Amino acid sequence: MITLTIDGKRVTVPKGTSLLDACRIAGADIPTLCHDPELSLAGSCRMCVVEVAGRRNLIASCVTPAEEGMQVETESEAVIEARRIILELLLARHKLECHVCERDGDCKLQDYCYRYGVKDSRFKGEEPHFYKEDPNPFIERDYDKCIMCTKCIRACAEITGAFAINLKNRGHNAVISTAFDLGLKDSTCVFCGQCIMVCPVGSLVSKVEKGRGRTYQTEKVRTVCTYCGTGCTLELKVLNDRVVGVNSIRDEKLSPANRGALCVKGRFGWDFIDSPERLKEPLVRKNGELMPVSWEEALDYTAKRLKEVKEKWGSDSIAVFTSARTTNEENYLLQKLARAVIGTNNIDHCARL
Amino acid sequence: MTNSIKDLEEEAEVIFLIGTNTTENHPVIGYKIRQNVLKRGAKLIVADPRRIELADLAEVYLPFKPGTDIMLINAMMHVIIKENLLDKEFIEKRTEGFEEVKEIVEKYTPELAARICGVPAEDIVKAARIYAEADKAAICYAMGVTQHSKGTDNVKAICNLAMLTGNIGKPGSGVNPLRGQNNVQGACDMGGLPDVYPGYQKVEIEENRSKFEKAWGVKLPDRKGLTLTEAINAALEGKIKALYIMGENPMLSDPDSHHVEEALDNLEFLVVQDIFLTETAAKADVVLPGVSFAEKDGTFTNTERRVQRVRKAVNPRGNAKPDWQILCEVATRLGYPMSYQSPEEIFEEIRSLTPSYAGITYKRIEETGIQWPCPDTDHPGTPILHKEKFVRGRGKFHPVEYREAAEMPDDEYPLILTTGRNLYHYHTGTMTRRVAAIDQHKPHNEVEIHPRTAQLYGIKDGDMVRLSTRRGSIKLKARITENIKEGVVFTTFHFGEAAANHLTNASALDPVAKIPEFKVAAARIEKI
> For B430-469, what is each residue's pLDDT tens digit?
999 999 999 999 999 999 999 999 999 999 999 999 999 9
**pLDDT value, residue A125:** 77
Instruction: Tell me the shortest Cα–Cα distance from B483 to chain A, in angstroms.
Output: 15
DSSP B27-60: HHHHHHHHHHHHHH--EEEEE-SB--GGGGG-SE
Specify whether the CB–CB gap between B466 and B526 falls below 8 A. Answer: yes
- Which residue in chain B has the smallest CA separation from A225? B182
Report residue A288's pLDDT band, with 50, 70 and 90 as the boundaries. Answer: very high
Specify whether the CB–CB gap between B324 and B346 falls below 8 A. Answer: yes
Say how many Å lie between the first and final Cα of chain A, rounded.
Answer: 55
**pLDDT value, residue B111:** 98
CB–CB of A320 and B244 under 8 A?
yes
Selected for mutation to probe chain B from A159, A208, A228, A318 (highest B CB count within 10 Å) is A228
> Does any domain span residue A200?
yes
Residue percentage of chain B with pLDDT more than 90:
98
| Cβ-Cβ contacts under 8 Å, A138 against chain B | 437, 441
CB–CB of A332 and B346 under 8 A?
yes
**pLDDT value, residue B137:** 98
- Strands (DSSP E) contained in A170-271 are 175-178, 204-206, 219-224, 233-239, 242-247
Instruction: Tell me the shortest Cα–Cα distance from B468 to chain A, in angstroms.
Output: 21
| Same domain (yes/no): A234, A147 | no
**Interface check A137 vs B, CB under 8 A:** yes
| Nearest neighbour of B38 by CB, restricted to A161, A231, A256 | A161
Q: pLDDT for A121-149, tens place per residue?
A: 999 877 767 877 899 999 999 999 999 99
**Interface check A188 vs B, CB under 8 A:** no
CB–CB of A282 and B289 under 8 A?
yes
| Cβ-based contacts under 8 A for chains A and B | 470
> Does any domain span residue A83?
no
CA B232 to CA B235: how far, in whole Å?
5
Report residue B28's pLDDT band, with 50, 70 and 90 as the boundaries. Answer: very high
Residue B102 has pLDDT above 80, yes or no: yes
Specify whether the CB–CB gap between B53 and B27 falls below 8 A. Answer: no
| Same domain (yes/no): A254, A295 | no
Number of domains in chain A: 4
Residue percentage of chain B with pLDDT more than 70:
100
What are residue B136's phi and psi, to 5 degrees? -130, 105
**pLDDT value, residue B280:** 96
Domain ranges of chain B: 5-178, 184-371, 415-527
**DSSP 3-state assignment of B250?**
helix
List the beta bridge partners of residue B527: B465
**Interface check A207 vs B, CB under 8 A:** yes
CB–CB of B187 and A351 under 8 A?
yes
CB–CB of B253 and A350 under 8 A?
yes
**Interface check B223 vs A, CB under 8 A:** yes
Selected for mutation to probe chain B from A289, A308, A331, A337 (highest B CB count within 10 Å) is A331
| Cβ-Cβ contacts under 8 Å, A308 against chain B | 269
- Which residue in chain A has the smallest CA separation from B182? A229
Which residues span the domain enclosing A58? 2-75
Residues 236-295 of B with CB under 8 A from A: 239-248, 250, 253-254, 268-269, 271, 274-277, 281-282, 284-290, 292-295
Q: How many residues does chain B have?
A: 528
- Topology of B184-371 in CATH? Rossmann fold (3.40.50)
Provide CB contacts within 8 A for A183, sequence distance 6+: A134, A135, A136
Selected for mutation to probe chain A from B218, B300, B301, B371 (highest A CB count within 10 Å) is B300
Instruction: Tell me the shortest Cα–Cα distance from A15 to chain B, in angstroms.
Output: 23
**pLDDT value, residue B508:** 87
Selected for mutation to probe chain B from A270, A318, A328 (highest B CB count within 10 Å) is A328
- What's the CATH number where A232 sits? 2.20.25.90
A123-127, B176-180, B203-207, B335-339: least confident range: A123-127
Q: pLDDT for B85-96, tens place per residue?
A: 999 999 999 999
| Nearest neighbour of A306 by CB, restricted to B240, B269, B323 | B269
Q: Mark B72-96 as b/e (b = at least 16 C-beta within 10 Å).
A: bbbbbbbbbbeeeebbeebbeebbe
CB–CB of B231 and A298 under 8 A?
no
- What's the CATH number where A34 sits? 3.10.20.740
> Does any domain span residue A81?
no
List the beta bridge partners of residue A50: A59
Tell me the average pLDDT of chain A: 96
**pLDDT value, residue A351:** 83
Of A186, A206, A226, the residue at which a domain comes to its end is A206
CB–CB of A241 and B311 under 8 A?
no
| Nearest neighbour of B223 by CB, restricted to A275, A278, A345 | A345
Provide CB contacts within 8 A for B325, sequence distance 6+: none
| Nearest neighbour of B29 by CB, restricted to A227, A230, A281 | A230
CB–CB of B225 and A319 under 8 A?
yes
| Cβ-Cβ contacts under 8 Å, B333 against chain A | 299-300, 302-303
CATH superfamily, region B5-178: Dimethylsulfoxide Reductase, domain 2 (3.40.228.10)
**pLDDT value, residue B415:** 97
User: Is the Cα dihedral B404, B138, B142, B442 positive or negative?
Assistant: negative
**pLDDT value, residue A111:** 98
- Which residue in chain A has the smallest CA separation from B234? A317
Report residue A252's pLDDT band, with 50, 70 and 90 as the boundaries. Answer: very high
Selected for mutation to probe chain A from B248, B252, B349, B422 (highest A CB count within 10 Å) is B248
**pLDDT value, residue A129:** 79
CA B128 to CA B43: how far, in whole Å?
12
**pLDDT value, residue B519:** 95
CB–CB of A137 and B440 under 8 A?
yes
Which class in CATH covers the domain with range B415-527?
mainly beta
User: Is the Cα dihedral B374, B375, B378, B379 positive or negative?
Assistant: negative
Q: pLDDT for B237-295, tens place per residue?
A: 999 999 999 999 999 999 999 999 999 999 999 999 999 999 999 999 999 999 999 99
Quote the pTM value.
0.96
**Interface check B483 vs A, CB under 8 A:** no
**Interface check A239 vs B, CB under 8 A:** no
| Nearest neighbour of A333 by CB, restricted to B147, B320, B327 | B327
Instruction: Tell me the shortest Cα–Cα distance from A33 to chain B, in angstroms.
Output: 24
CB–CB of B343 and A326 under 8 A?
no
Q: pLDDT for A225-244, tens place per residue?
A: 999 999 999 999 999 999 99
> Does any domain span residue A82?
no
Q: Please name the helix (run of DSSP H) or strand (run of DSSP E) that holds residue B213, with its range, or none.
A: helix B206-216
> Does any domain span residue A56?
yes
| Nearest neighbour of B221 by CB, restricted to A274, A275, A343 | A343
**Interface check B434 vs A, CB under 8 A:** yes
Instruction: Tell me the shortest Cα–Cα distance from A247 to chain B, in angstroms.
Output: 13
Instruction: Tell me the shortest Cα–Cα distance from B35 to chain A, in angstroms.
Output: 7
Residues 276-295 of A with CB under 8 A from B: 277-285, 290, 295
CB–CB of A340 and B286 under 8 A?
no
DSSP 8-state class, residue A218: S
Q: Between residues A171 and A103, which one has the greater pLDDT?
A: A103
Of A17, A41, A75, the residue at which a domain comes to its end is A75
Residue B186 has pLDDT above 90, yes or no: yes
CB–CB of A339 and B220 under 8 A?
yes
Instruction: Tell me the shortest Cα–Cα distance from B338 to chain A, in angstroms.
Output: 9
Say how many Å lie between the first and final Cα of chain B, rounded.
Answer: 44
Tell me the average pLDDT of chain B: 96
User: Is the Cα dihedral B18, B20, B26, B27 positive or negative?
Assistant: positive
CA A94 to CA A70: how far, in whole Å?
36
CA A250 to CA B53: how far, in whole Å?
26
Of A173, A206, A239, the residue at which a domain comes to its end is A206
- Which residue in chain A has the smallest CA separation from B148? A352
> Does any domain span residue A45?
yes
> Does any domain span residue A236?
yes
DSSP 8-state class, residue A340: I
Report residue B495's pLDDT band, with 50, 70 and 90 as the boundaries. Answer: very high
**pLDDT value, residue B245:** 98
Instruction: Tell me the shortest Cα–Cα distance from B80 to chain A, in angstroms.
Output: 31
| Nearest neighbour of A324 by CB, restricted to B178, B187, B349 | B187
Cα B214 versus chain centre, distance? 34
Average pLDDT over residues B408-421: 96
> Does any domain span residue A69?
yes
Average pLDDT over residues B310-323: 98
Rg (CA), chain A: 27
Average pLDDT over residues B222-250: 96
**Interface check B22 vs A, CB under 8 A:** no
Instruction: Tell me the shortest Cα–Cα distance from B14 to chain A, in angstroms.
Output: 18
Residues 45-104 of A with CB under 8 A from B: none
**pLDDT value, residue B412:** 97
